[in-house]
């Protein structure tokens, strides 16, 4: 099936006899058994469900759905995007191991790798992934994983995934990619050789800014290890949020197609604005579009506070995606936790704005940004 068909018709096996058009919500903490023999059957692999932390039809449906869209053999749903990244990493590294990560990552991931994983005895080196010699120079006998994002946050650098995979194979390392910005509609890293692919399903997969969820997909044996971490570390997703995420995901192709077109239109328009110093928007992500995030750096002629106050119907939020166009302030939210030297090296300063395009009329979007920029110009 083509992507636009598959995203609507991905279903969990074993529920066909119920004949409900929509998957029911299995809002239960545990499952009942008719006998001790039937209970024992769970531990013998004859029955899939015991307790929702260890598995639930709704969370299983979400994991399978995103695995299908990424054309990966297996997937597991988690409580958030960061928890998906965490269990994916812990599926391949342990205490004493070393990770090499791109230096231009989402701030939450950067913090987790730099600060939290050190308490697990796991170290991380952050390097410029555009320079193969820097990556190879950071490899040690303890290195196990190369980690990056399909499109980096917030400056929209498209990762050279084939080169990353080639390098990992050369040095017998695992690879993991956060595919949140691209979604499987625009890019499928697993098909390019990546071992594990993570998503913050909170963003485009759920699509409506009303859930918090994550998914990690990839090779069967690695996803099984990630699933064990989900169960044993309690990072499972609730059935209702999994159900909402699956419902939202069915319109992913329609939403992302429109949002990516709006992204291209806005990026082109802002490049011609004399009060926009820089526009960061890829041109080589996918033949279906280049994503729905446009990051800009306003010129010194603009007052950033006035810009944010003049956005009208465009909301200021600390996240992205959803059907509404929104803006965020990386210095004050997503990349706030980065050390000042890291912020400066990446170029995250007081005039950087990350724009998340919605599905509104492109003319209305352009007009509202024109109005905000014009209002912010210092008199």
Tell me the per-residue pLDDT of 56-90, one tens digit each, with 9 for 90 and over: 999 999 999 999 999 999 999 999 999 999 999 99
Global pTM value: 0.94
What's the rounded Cα separation, in Å, for the pair 252 and 123?
36
CATH 3.90.1150.10 intervals, the chain? 252-376
Residue 23 confidence (pLDDT): 86
Residue 139 phi/psi, 5° resolution?
A: -70, 130
Averaged pLDDT score across all residues of the chain? 95
Query: Domain 3-249 class?
Result: alpha beta
Three-state SS for 258? helix
Q: Taking the CA atoms of 324, 330, 336 and 339 in sequence, report the sign of the dihedral they define.
A: positive
What's the rounded Cα separation, in Å, for the pair 205 and 181?
10
118 dihedral zone (left: phi>0; alpha: psi -120 to 50; beta):
alpha
CATH 3.40.640.10 intervals, the chain? 3-249
Residue 22 confidence (pLDDT): 83
CB 279 within 8 A of CB 267: yes
Residue 18 confidence (pLDDT): 61
pLDDT over 70 at 1, yes or no: yes
Q: Tokens 């998906």 belong to which residue?
A: 84
Question: 252-376 has which fold?
Answer: 3.90.1150
């Amino acid at each position: 099936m083509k992507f636009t068909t598959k995203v609507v018709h991905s279903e969990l096996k074993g529920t066909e006899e119920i004949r409900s058009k929509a998957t029911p919500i299995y809002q239960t903490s545990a499952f009942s058994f008719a006998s001790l023999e039937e209970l024992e059957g769970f531990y013998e692999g004859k029955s899939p469900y015991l307790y929702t932390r260890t598995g639930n039809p709704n969370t299983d449906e979400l994991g399978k759905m995103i695995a299908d869209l990424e054309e990966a053999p297996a997937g597991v749903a988690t409580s958030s995007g960061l928890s998906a990244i965490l269990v994916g990493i812990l599926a391949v590294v342990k205490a004493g191991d070393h990770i090499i990560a791109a230096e231009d990552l989402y701030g939450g991931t950067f913090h987790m790798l730099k600060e939290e994983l050190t308490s697990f005895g796991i170290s991380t080196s952050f390097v410029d992934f555009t320079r193969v010699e820097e990556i190879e120079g950071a490899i040690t006998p303890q290195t196990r994983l190369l980690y990056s994002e399909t499109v980096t946050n917030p400056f929209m650098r498209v990762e050279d995934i084939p080169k990353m995979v080639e390098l990992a194979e050369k040095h017998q390392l695992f690879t993991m990619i956060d595919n949140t910005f691209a979604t499987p509609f625009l890019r499928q890293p697993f098909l390019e050789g990546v071992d594990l692919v993570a998503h913050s399903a909170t963003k485009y997969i759920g699509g409506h800014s009303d859930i918090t969820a994550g998914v990690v997909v990839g090779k069967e044996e690695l996803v099984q290890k990630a699933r064990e971490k989900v169960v044993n570390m309690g990072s499972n997703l609730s059935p209702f949020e999994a159900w909402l995420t699956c419902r939202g995901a069915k319109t992913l192709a329609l939403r992302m197609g429109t949002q990516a077109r709006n992204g291209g239109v806005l990026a082109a328009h802002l490049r011609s604005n004399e009060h926009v110093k820089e526009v960061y928007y890829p041109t080589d992500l996918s033949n279906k579009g280049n994503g729905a995030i446009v990051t800009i750096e306003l010129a010194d002629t603009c007052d950033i506070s006035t810009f944010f106050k003049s956005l009208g119907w465009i909301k200021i939020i600390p996240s992205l995606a959803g059907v509404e166009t929104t803006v965020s302030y990386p210095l004050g939210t997503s990349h706030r936790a980065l050390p000042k030297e890291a912020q400066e090296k990446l170029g995250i300063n007081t005039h950087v704005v990350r724009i998340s395009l919605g599905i509104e009329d492109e003319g209305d979007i352009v007009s509202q940004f024109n109005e905000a920029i014009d209002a912010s110009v210092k008199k």
